[in-house]
Amino acid sequence: MQQRRLKKINPFPGYIRIQEPNKEELARLVSLAKGEGRSLRDFAAACGVSTSTLSRIINVKSDSNTPNSDNLIAAIGRNIDPESGVTLEMLLKAHGIAPVLMADADSGSVGTSVIIPEQGSVDAMRKLDDAVITANRSNQRNFSMMETICREVLQNELAYRGYNFEINLRKNIVYKSQKLRYVADFVFETNAVEHNGMKMWAFDVHAGNLRPVLHKLSWIFGMSYLESLRERQMKFSLVVTDEREFLDVKERFSDVMIPDVISIILIDINNRKVVDEFVIPTHGNTDSIFKEEV
């Protein structure tokens, strides 16, 4: 019998990866989801995959470096034995992903409203608010979406690691004089930067198609020269989604020493997670919270 190929779509568009999959727990759940009265072959056929695919999951033989695909988990979830006691939410938790619930960024307390629940319904997932994503200019739509996703990822990374934070877009003016002004995309008031001696963490999402990343960094350095970020107890991070840009900055600035706490953060937009953070060498603690074990 010819197996049906799983469609290459994202079945959980409102979810992000918050941790590595628990393969032992996933193996247990998939084994239970098969049900006592159904063979593994019949279960695999119902899911549209080969028997060996499910066998690898149940026997914890999957590639340790590559999570099972979301489409595979969705197919298993659609064919759970009703009497097994297994739910889709249980599978998703073992798979290492959770839904993102966004609050209004202008509310001033998004940090208290971002939730990564233990359980939840796929039907209850909230899509990104079009009112936030859509700027007045149609040619900025893609960048607005990227900025929103990056903020969403960072909020959930902080929340998952147990940090407190608040965001208010009315407080995102990092530097202002009579003739000059630098506005960050968003600023968190958070205890995640206490180890740097800071109270606030400002972020600027880089749109590579508009200007080179080094050009954007020069703006940040210039702004910090005019008014010390350290004196304002503020850390500043440039967020990028291009690994080549990230590695280039890391190589160029690895041997310098600057007075303020400035970093570059690489985010994987497709999997919605922070990949790495490079803190430009400075005086004091330059460890990244994203390197901590969670």
Mind listing the pLDDT tens digit for each residue in 53-80?
999 999 987 665 556 788 899 889 889 9
Cα distance between residue 61 and residue 56, in whole Å? 5
State pTM to two decimals. Answer: 0.53
Which pLDDT score is estimated for 33? Answer: 92
> 124: exposed, middle or buried (C-beta count within 10 Å: 0-12, 13-18, 19+)?
exposed
The C-alpha angle with vertex 14 and arms to 102 and 148, in degrees rounded to 5, equals 50
Single out the residue of 76, 154, 65 nearest to residue 114, CA to CA: 154
- pLDDT given for residue 7 in this prediction: 45
End-to-end CA distance of the chain: 44
Model confidence at 202: pLDDT above 60: yes
pLDDT band at 260 (very low <50, low <70, confident <90, very high): very high
Specify the pLDDT at position 224: 84
Confidence at residue 124, expressed as pLDDT on a 0 to 100 scale: 33
For the segment 223-247, the average pLDDT, to the nearest whole number, is 89
The rounded distance, in Å, linking the Cα atoms of 270 and 252 is 27
**Domains plus CATH for the chain?**
15-99 (1.10.260.40), 105-291 (no CATH)
Q: pLDDT for 178-188, tens place per residue?
A: 666 677 888 89
Q: Using 50, 70 and 90 to split pLDDT, how confident is the model at 174?
A: low
In this predicted structure, the answer to whether residue 106 has a pLDDT above a threshold of 70 is no
Q: Percent of the chain at pLDDT above 90?
A: 26
Over residues 250-259, the mean pLDDT reads 91
Measured over the CA atoms of residue 22, residue 28, residue 31 and residue 37, the dihedral's sign is negative
pLDDT at 103: 38
Rounded Cα distance, 110 and 129, in Å: 14
Only one residue has tokens 């999402």, namely: 205
Average pLDDT over the chain reads 76
- Residues 6 or more apart from 264 whose CB is under 8 A from it? 213, 217, 237, 238, 239, 240, 246, 249, 250, 277, 278, 280
> Quick one: pLDDT band at residue 284, thresholds 50, 70, 90?
confident
* 45, 36 contact by CB (below 8 A): no
Average pLDDT for residues 263-268, to the nearest whole number?
Answer: 94
Report the chain's C-alpha Rg in angstroms: 22
Residue-level pLDDT at 19:
73
What's the rounded mean pLDDT across residues 207-222?
76
Please determine, for residue 135, whether its predicted confidence score (pLDDT) is greater than 90.
no
pLDDT tens, 13-56? Answer: 556 666 778 889 999 999 999 998 899 999 999 999 999 999 99
CA distance 87 to 142: 35
State the angle between helix axes of 40-47 and 23-34 in degrees (0 to 180), rounded to the nearest 10. 100
